[in-house]
Structure 1
Amino acid sequence: MKKKKFEFPSAFTVLVIILILAAALTYLIPSGRFSKLTYSKESNEFIITDENEKVTAQPATQEVLDNLNIHLSINKFTEEVIKKPMAIPGTYKRIPQNPQGIVEIIKSPVAGVADSVDIVIFVLILGGVIGIINKMGAFDAGIAALSKKTKGKEFILVTLIFLLITLGGTTFGMSEETIAFYPILMPIFLASGFDAMTCIAAISLGSTIGTMFSTVNPFSTVIASNAAGISFTEGLTFRIVCLILASIITIVYIYRYTLKVKKDRTKSIVYDQEAEIREKFLGQFEKSLKTEFTMRKKICLTIFGIAFPIMIWGVSTQGWWFGEMSSLFLAVGIIIMFLSGLPEKKSINAFINGAAELIGVALIVGLARAVNIIMDNGFISDTLLYYSSQLVANMSHTAFALFQFGIFSVLGFFIQSSSGLAVLSMPIMAPLADTAGVSREIIINAYNWGQGLMSFITPTGMVLVFLEMAEVTFDKWLKFVLPLFGMIAAFSAIMLVINTMM
């Protein structure tokens, strides 16, 4: 009898396993909480919530902050620079264990989808718009025209996409927004001769490197600097240098991979899936080579393309989030419906079928959020932060910096929100830099680089979402990215050591 070949489990199964492991941790790691401080603009008071959810109010004054050992200017709160609950140093308390059992595990995916409904709606609307454009054949005709023009200069496309997304990541934290790029760029990359992994790498690694080596990202570097009591401009030049060097390392890594695959197609990590991936994204490509790229198709693609710079403008300058982004693409979808030339029923069905194609992606988003809900409800994140802060006392400069890097890598797995981790950890960790005799900018860099490093591989982040869009399994991504993960980890450690000597 022929032995059945092992197949790596799907993204759903991977997340369910992680969900169970996260629940198990709530039995093993003690539950505990810091008291949290928030500012109420309406009453001009500080609202303090202790470990038992008891709420008290104190006047919003500098004296109160000083008494609480929060060494920040009152303006950071009154001007709403810091909006999220801030951990109060020295207030950690153990609380009764709150383990998450089988009932909580079963309920958490439902809560996860409900908590991520804004992202889910965005994914489904995007899928619907793409469904209409695919139905009218605009994508295939456009890709065919583009592939003729980029002949011999294909890697410029990879570099351009990587650099643009890296720029978005380092300036305004472009991450979840990149979901929109995968179904658009995958056919273009495949038609240009690259494999699916190259497309995933250009988009995902651009976002990861950009957000990891953030320069002026308000959701990480700026808010962390404010919470640490320093200006985000401190160390900015050094961070820019690190961003450039890390980008070069990553581009060279992707380039070497593409050369290897070009020389021998069987070296592609997704070689065994190549036929089905090409069928999914380029099913009508051969036919499209003979299809006219009509003015109607050009107009529809142009309108769709314009939505992306508008989205980036809205997120980076107007405070947009998924509600506004979903509305933008819904409006674009309605316009394209009218211009497509398709009968009303066919265009509606195309929208519905396109949305149905991304149902799996939407559910992955909710399941990933379920893992975070389990850990939050188990109250173990504050405990990890408390014990981590105890470990770094009385260390040398270099050991302190490297240990902080390791700590934030671990915390980054448990606390996915960059701004949430910043306001929770900085009041605790930043004063430790003073006792260790190093600049607080070291803490900011360790936080950015530690949390960012985990974005390469953390299944509870965006990794499984974009892999599901490309129908690539997690083990193949790990095979591709782990060597680069090691390089960037070593690079970050070296730069942190250099940072302590400056």
Structure 2
Amino acid sequence: MSNLLNKNDKEKKERKFPSAFSVLFIVLVFAAILTYVVPAGSYDRLQYNKETNSFLRVNSDGTETSLEASQKVLDDLKITVPLKSFVNEDIKKPVAIPGSYHKLDQQPQGFMKVARAPIDGIADCIGIIVFVLILGGCIGVLNKTGTFDAGIAALSKKTKGKEFLMVAIISSIIALGGTTFGLAEETIAFYPILMPIFLASGFDAIVTIAAIYMGSAIGTMFSTTNAFSVVVASNAAGISFKDGLTFRIISLVLAQIITLWYIYRYAKKVKKDPEASIIAEDMPRINKQYLEGYDPDNVAPFNFRRITMLVVFMAAFPIMIYGVMNLEWWFEEMSTLFLIVGIALLFLSGLPEGDAVSAFLDGASDLVSVALIVGVARGINIILDDGMISDTMLYQASNIISGMNGVLFSSVQMILFSFLGIFIPSSSGLATLSMPIIAPLADTVSLGRDVVVSAYNYGQGRMAIIAPTGLILATLEMVDVSYNKWVKFIVPLMGILLILAIVMLGIQTIF
């Protein structure tokens, strides 16, 4: 009998879904295989040099040509981006030149390239990695002093009976940040704060992920003024980002309502029966991780010291958002902000110097795996870029949709943008590469280019919900949920959002 039980336990372990690192390495190897199979190719690119007020054409063979920065040059190259978009630095990245695609010698990425890719990815993402580690340090100090436990207890009393309202408000605020300025990677900071609050309110970890990650995903998928996606895409398409804005606002509102309804149905079911949770078997471990030692009837008092520490920490978030929106901050500036906050927390904690520093370092070490996942995911993109196959996929995609009728054109290109979003996860990178190629195709079917911009947003934003090359695996690693369980939860919602996007694109095409 014991042998049979051991055998069953062994089989359960063998059936366990691979970790986030294993998933990424599988995708990394698959990307390398594609560099052997997919023909290598590249578009010529045009980049504006502000210092010399000239264009630099970089050909697919690596040769460079300096050109006059004039509208005539752009017209001759069939680039529909207005000259002022380059001069005003609305377009900062090189744009693809239509009709310039050339096949290249195959650039297969072998064993050593694959082995080195995660290292190069980590080096390329060092800004994000430092941000994550410093954030973890701040959280470590707050946990050590019991500040989070005291804050959770106070908030739970205020929201008793209205727990989902808190979920809806937080998710909608994050969606607003996503749609206006591209709030995405920054949301990593929210999980350690909100996870214990949501767990203490009776929700499972999936609800926390859905509230935060889907808030950001819906916001970026249905961007309105996001400079990193819709504004760049519109400029690259040669139109104003205001074109099609009404349709995107309506789509945003509808998508957020649908998403909150979907989360609510799941949360209500789990609250009624915790065993109905997709991650029921994982919840004891997750509760221990985030709520170990937490007893709502026996927590440290939410006194002046703890209130001050929490206020200092929370005040960093509006400052960070303001900096990103108005001061062109990126991860270096955000890391500096949280380092200052971390030092302030060390002094406010009242802990002995050695204990305070140890708490900071322990908190940082808890997020090392998250930081490394970000780097490994970037390594996949490096393999694809070095293999020179991303442009080939764009070229084939443009051939597929060329000459289609309007409604079919908009729907198929959205699906193609979803596919391209796997291989080019940067929203601004995909926009500047694809829009000069695909936007003019809309003219051939008498379709407004604003439809192309909307299709791009809906397509790449939808794929970001599950794409391993994006932010989702780092998010799941942070809250200790496996990828397959997230996919199981979110795929039905993705289907609903796909139908919504197709309907809204159809309406936009007609009007």
TM tier, shorter chain? over 0.9
Render the CA deviation track for 1:12-67: whole Å, top value 9, x for unaligned.
00000000001011111100000000001111110010001111101111111111
Distance 1:373 1:290 in 2: 48
Aligned to 2:389: 380
Partner of 2:114: helix, strand, or coil? helix
Q: CA deviation at 1:72?
A: 2.7
Instruction: Tell me if the contact between 1:140 and 1:288 (Cα under 8 Å) persists in the aligned partners.
Output: no
Once residues 392 and 200 of structure 1 are traced to their aligned partners in structure 2, the CA distance between those partners, rounded to angstroms, is 35
What does 1:437-452 correspond to in 2, within 5 Å? 437-452=446-461
From 484, 495, 498, the equivalent of 2:493 is 484
Report if the CA contact (8 A) 2:247-2:504 is conserved: no
8 Å Cα contact 2:175/2:218 also seen in 1: yes
Equivalent runs, 1:44-63 vs 2, <5 Å: 44-63=53-72
Q: Which moved more, 1:400-409 or 1:289-298?
A: 289-298
Shift of residue 456, structure 1, vs aligned partner: 1.1
Q: Give the Cα–Cα distance (whole angstroms) in 1 for the partners of residues 301 and 257 of structure 2.
A: 39
Assess if the C-alpha contact under 8 Å between 2:149 and 2:299 holds in 1: no
Aligned to 1:331: 340
Q: Give secondary structure in 1 for the equivalent of 2:481.
A: coil
* 1:256-275 equivalent positions in 2, closer than 5 A: 256-275=265-284
Matched, 1:254 2:263: yes
Q: Does 2:439 correspond to 1:430?
A: yes
Q: Distance in 2 between matches of 1:43 and 1:316?
A: 28
Q: Distance in 2 between matches of 1:239 and 1:59?
A: 37
Q: Any idea what SS the aligned residue of 2:347 has?
A: helix
1:191 to 183, 200, 204: 200
**What amino acid sits opposite 2:359 in the alignment?**
A
Name 2:314's counterpart in structure 1. Answer: 305
Which moved further from structure 2: 431-440 or 141-150?
A: 141-150
Letter of the aligned partner of 2:105 in structure 1? P
1:412 — aligned with what? Answer: 421
**In 2, Cα distance between the equivalents of 1:398 and 1:235?**
15
Deviation at 1:497, TM superposition (A): 1.3
What letter corresponds to residue 343 of structure 1 in structure 2? P
Question: In 1, Cα distance between the equivalents of 2:105 and 2:306?
Answer: 62
Aligned identity (percent) is 55
Q: What SS does the corresponding residue of 2:395 show, helix, strand or coil?
A: helix
Residues of 1 paired with 2:286 and 2:107: CA distance? Answer: 44
Match of 2:149 among 118, 136, 140: 140
CA distance in 2, matches of 1:431, 1:287: 60
Q: Which amino acid counterpart does residue 47 of structure 2 have in structure 1?
A: T
Residue aligning to 1:238? 247
1:402 alignment partner in structure 2? 411
Structure 1 runs not aligned, ≥5 long: none
8 Å contact from structure 1 (residues 144, 289) kept in 2? no
What is residue 74 of structure 1 aligned with on the other side?
83
Show CA shifts across 1:86-114 (max 9, x none): 00011000010001111111000000100
Give the alignment partner of residue 288 of structure 2, picking from 279, 302, 315: 279
Q: SS state of the match for residue 301, structure 1?
A: helix
Q: Which amino acid aligns with 2:165?
A: I
Q: Which residue pairs with 1:18 in the alignment?
A: 27
Q: Which amino acid aligns with 2:204?
A: D
Q: TM-score, normalised by structure 1?
A: 0.99
Aligned in 2, Cα 1:288/1:91: closer, same or farther, shift over 3 Å? Answer: farther
SS at match of 2:55: strand
SS at match of 2:65: strand
Q: Which moved more, 1:205-214 or 1:64-73?
A: 64-73
- Determine helix, strand or coil for the equivalent of 2:90: coil
1:174 partner amino acid:
L
Q: Report if aligned partners of 1:46, 1:57 keep a CA contact under 8 Å in 2.
A: yes
Matched to 2:126, the amino acid is V
Which of the numbers 165, 169, 173 marks the counterpart of 1:156?
165
**Structure 2 counterpart of 1:205, from 192, 208, 214:** 214
Asked if the contact 1:36–1:86 (Cα under 8 Å) also holds between the matched residues in 2, the reply is yes
Do residues 112 (structure 1) and 145 (structure 2) align? no
Report the equivalent of 2:467: 458
Q: State the AA in 2 paired with 1:17.
A: I
Unpaired stretches in structure 2, ≥5 consecutive residues: none
The one-letter amino acid paired with 1:227 is: A
* Contact 1:190–1:278 under 8 Å retained in 2: yes
1 CA distance for matches of 2:152 and 2:68? 61
CA deviation map 1:205-228 (0-9, x unaligned): 000000000011111111111110
Q: SS at the partner of 2:281?
A: helix
Q: Which residue of 1 aligns with 2:135?
A: 126
Answering whether residue 104 of structure 2 is matched by residue 95 of structure 1, we say yes
Mapped partners of 2:204, 2:135: distance in 1? 23
Aligned ranges for residues 341-380 of structure 1 at < 5 Å? 341-380=350-389
- Separation (CA, whole Å) in 1 of partners of 2:472 and 2:348: 35
What is the CA–CA distance in structure 2 between the aligned matches of 1:150 and 1:63, rounded to whole Å?
62
* TM-score of the superposed pair, with normalisation by structure 2: 0.97
Q: Is the 8 A contact 2:80 2:236 kept in 1?
A: no
Residues 439/52 of structure 1: CA separation in 2 closer, same or farther (3 Å cut): same
Residue identity in the other structure for 1:369: R
Tell me, in whole angstroms, the C-alpha distance in 2 between the residues paired with 1:178 and 1:444: 25
Partners of 2:238 and 2:53 lie apart in 1 by: 21
Distance 1:212 1:72 in 2: 23
State the distance in 2 between where 1:287 and 1:184 align.
17
Whether the 8 Å contact between 1:19 and 1:371 is mirrored in structure 2 is: yes
Runs of 4+ in 1 over 6 A off after TM superposition: none
How far off its partner does 1:392 sit? 1.4
Of residues 176, 201, 206 in structure 2, which corresponds to 1:167?
A: 176
Task: Confirm or deny that 1:218 pairs with 2:227.
Answer: yes
Letter in 1 for 2:336: S
Alignment partners' CA distance in 1, 2:233 and 2:298: 51
Do the aligned residues in 2 keep the contact of 1:141 with 1:288 (CA within 8 Å)?
no
Q: Provide the C-alpha distance between the structure 2 equivalents of 1:238 and 1:41, rounded to a whole number of angstroms.
A: 35
Q: Kindly indicate whether the alpha-carbon contact (under 8 Å) linking 1:141 and 1:289 is maintained by their aligned counterparts in 2.
A: no
Give the residue type in structure 2 aligned to 1:388.
Answer: A
